[in-house]
Amino acid sequence: MIRCTGKAAAVVCYTLVVGILGLVTVCVVSGARPTSSYLPQTTDYERQPLVPRAHAVFDLSASEDRGKPPLDVQEQDLDKLTYLPLAFKGFCGFYLPSSQRFGFDAVRNRAELYDVSLLHAGWYQNFGFRADPPALEGLEFAQTIRLCQPGSPPGRTCTSDYVPDQQDIKDYAAAHPGALWLIGNEPDAPIQDCITPPRYAQLYHELYGIIKGADPSARVAIGGVVQGTPLRLRYLDMILQEYQTRYGGMIPVDVWNVHGFILQEHRYSWGCHIPCGITDVDTGILYNIDDHDNMTFFKQQIVAFRQWMNDHGERDKQLIVTEYGILMPDIYGFDEPRVEAFMLATFDYFLTASNPSYGYAADCGKLVQGWAWYSLDDAHFQKPSYNSYSHLFDPVYETITDLGTAYGDYVSSLP
């Protein structure tokens, strides 16, 4: 997925091409439900839906002022093409084959039930831990350690702080050097792991030590927040501050991770709620339903996250987007052609978005090094009320969908 690769011949070829032609590159909460053995327990917490109820009436028109994040994101940072100085180009080489960057999120069934070779992807995850993930040809499996904090959200009870346990983590890490580990899934989200920033800093510190103790070459990634908005970046700032206070240094993240949804932030309405541990606001960015596939907003969040990394001295780290897609159903206008158009537009952006000031230098300044589409097989998000079109395989018949075919055709056409 995000391992450096390169051959001498490729580098020579690349150098010649650069020397002659130069290089021009381009600069919602997750619906993924845990499929691991761990599922946070809740009792009396009143959940708000991720997407609006089917019987509700909403204004579906986009609102430019209402949805635009108040971030210091300049228009040129959103442009598809950003010039890279020749001096910068000479250092990056071929960092990673394009196909290895593509991933997917398995939800309903195990990935091995489908002919996932048709996707030509390089990695996947299932929001949980597998002690024996199948050796699917060409696919790396990313492990996720699920977290739990009693009383967060109110009413939640936990049988343990995290799953799997320490011994399972040590055993897998020792047997699979260099594996990618995600510490939590949407720790900011009340209906996912929901860990307050102080507690997340503690759990991350403990788990990082366990993993690295068993495998120093392991790649440890922070849990992806729902989206790269100011409210979510504030949540991460609180984690960094807590870690600095407790342990006297910057949180040691090998791979930065964010999710790429576009959902309104409202404590008492549909959307991705307010980050766990933040109590002084009831709203953040109030995206509309129709904003859910807005590529300008999508780009804003990616750029803002990369700029945030740069501001914290983390520019020379990989960034992966481990979950994004379309959660809105067809009744709100998100039919298969619209979902496909959005998916392919994100592929174009991910493959080309770069910036010489805050992009990843080892990857020619690219902003993102890997991404996973949601989902492989969730055909009825928040079922039974919704029929969505963002799944790549039909979970009942185990056959590839039109969207899955479009995914596979895109990746297989890459050089």
Q: How far apart are CA 228 and CA 235, in angstroms?
A: 11
- Kindly report, residue by residue over 206-264, the tens digit of the pLDDT: 999 999 999 999 999 999 999 999 999 999 999 999 999 999 999 999 999 999 999 99
Which stretches of 300-346 are assigned E, i.e. beta strand?
318-325
| Cβ atoms of residues 350 and 363 within 8 Å | no
pLDDT (0 to 100) of residue 20: 32
- pLDDT (tens digit per residue) in 334-378: 999 999 999 999 999 999 999 999 999 999 999 999 999 999 999
The larger pLDDT score, comparing residue 14 to residue 142, is at: 142
Mean pLDDT along residues 298-309: 98
Tell me what percent of the residues of the chain surpass a pLDDT of 70: 79
Q: pTM for the complete prediction?
A: 0.85
Residue 200 carries which DSSP code?
H
Q: Which sequence spans correspond to the domains of the chain?
A: 8-412
What integer pLDDT is reported at residue 263 of this predicted model? 98
How would you classify the pairing of strands 318-325 and 219-222?
Answer: unpaired
Query: Phi first, then psi: what are they for 323, rounded to 5°?
Result: -165, 130
pLDDT tens string 17-63 = 333 333 333 333 333 333 333 344 433 345 578 888 755 544 444 33
Q: Can you say how many angstroms the Cα of residue 238 is from the centroid of all Cα atoms in its chain?
A: 20
First to last CA, the chain: 16
Identify the helix (H) or strand (E) that includes residue 144.
strand 143-147
What is the distance between the alpha carbons of residues 28 and 20, in angstroms, rounded to a whole number? 43
CB 326 within 8 A of CB 348: no
Fold of 8-412: TIM Barrel (3.20.20)
How does 106-136 read in b/e, with b if 16+ C-beta sit within 10 Å? bbbbebeebebebbbbbbbbbbbbbeebeeb
